A and B are shown apart, each in its own frame.
Chain A
Amino acid sequence: MCLAFPAKVLSVDGAVAKVSRKGVERAISLMLLPNAKVGDFVLVHAGFAMEIVDEKQADETDALLAEMNGAPRTVFSL
């Protein structure tokens, strides 16, 4: 239930941000992380940004999730 994934903030409109994760865009709430800015990578849980994370962590999570879906192993080259 506490699953979360990193996504990049594309735009901010008040308490709502548009984020992108592997080309998929969706709106999330910034009510719990009001200082997130365009370009930040944020950890998203249940439609809310929870924390700003570093880009490397975001890349690693993406690579591992891709691997779980059958992609070749790339995470160690990051």
Chain B
Amino acid sequence: MEEKKLLLEIHSLSEKLTKPVRFMEVCGTHTVSIFRHGIRQLLPKNVELVSGPGCPVCVTDDVYMDKAIAYAKRPDTIIATFGDMLKVPGSESSLEQAKTEGADIRIIYSPLDSLDIARDNPDKKVIFLAVGFETTSPTAAALTIAAKEAGISNLYLLSAQKLVPPALKTLIADKTVKVDGFILPGHVAVVTGLEPFRFLKEEHQIPAVVSGFEADEILTAITFLLNMVVNNEAKLINAYQAVVKDEGNPVARSVTEKVYEKADAAWRGMGIIPLSGLCMRDEFSSFDIEKVLPLTVKPSPKTTGCRCGDVLKGVITPFNCPLFDKTCNPENPIGPCMVSVEGVCAAYYKYGRASFSFE
């Protein structure tokens, strides 16, 4: 079996390490796949995987959620959103709670579904919660362009699109975060290509591998990373060539750039990161709900003891959080990392305590 061969290779490479290594998987889908296949538990003791800030729901801050909830509570609005946003706690409530109190919140699969909702409800303002990374921002931008072309004037975005490379830069600069290599997000790279990740090698000499999501693909990425560490090399490798082209998808990028421009963005647990997000260009401001119907939400800092921020940076694992599996669990999530199926805490809760071995 391919996986067993790769694991044996990883174990043999690990014997050549002079100190323990930590690799970060950036993408939430990688986190889930790693747990589902038991990979974390099958690695040698001196090869550690930590999860990064790659779950869009998890890095969305309270202020955004509070705004979404405030818009949802207006009688003249319909919120269209991906399902994993529903349970994310804001500072006092969640969209799910607003829904039980009567807010009109629709779960959609594609951003384009919100066009139909807007057409069917001409007397309502339909607000799509545009949250995500580089994979998702072209779809939100395409929605905006499609709405403009179709002359739909009651569709808006509440946008908090984020960019992965600036977050990685911030992580590398943070002395509490120690990462020897990155497993880069495959579906983000489908859009961005390799270029935005070259700084890892060129400025920081950190090995990085673009990886697919299956067990053998993730083990292959770890093998590449270990090989580079052992040989004291830093390369940027595309190990997902069946899907990711080195140049990415230029059409998707140009659609994004037509609607969005770079802006500072707030990340849960990491604060404001310069030019790490996207905001809608002035030309499309009639689709930006924050321009059309501005509202301010009172900041109300929570004192729950939730350590999602440190978990998202890979500084601690969920086991080190005092709330994990006590007051915080998937039924009653206190922080967003426990909410999303791609959240680090949810993955640890579901899969993280099993132990595996291989012969």
Contacts and interface: CB of A to CB of B under 8 A. Distances in A.
Contacts of A10: none
Interface stretch (B70-78, B91-99, B131-139, B308-316): B131-139
Interface string A27-57: 0110111100000000101111011011011
B29 to A, nearest CB: 6
Interface string B169-198: 000000000000000010110110000000
Contact of A46 (B27, B136, B243, B245): B136
A68 B36 CA distance: 10
B66 to A, nearest CB: 20
Contacts of B191: 50
Contact of B139 (A45, A51, A53, A76): A45
Interface string B197-228: 00000000000000000100000000000000
Q: Of residues A1, A34, A50, which shows the largest number of chain B Cβ atoms within 10 Å of its Cβ?
A: A1
Q: How large is the interface on B (under 10, 10 to 19, 20 to 34, 35 or more residues)?
A: 35 or more
Contacts of B135: 1-2, 4, 45, 50
B255 A51 contact: no
B138 A2 contact: no
Given A51-B245, A60-B214, A45 B251 contact: no
B234 to A, nearest CB: 25
Q: Interface residues of A: mostly helix, strand, loop or mixed?
A: mixed
Interface in A11-37: 28-29, 31-34
Interface residues of A, number: 26
A47 B249 contact: no
A64 B214 contact: yes
Nearest to A57: B242
B82 A31 contact: no
B159 to A, nearest CB: 15
B145 interface: yes
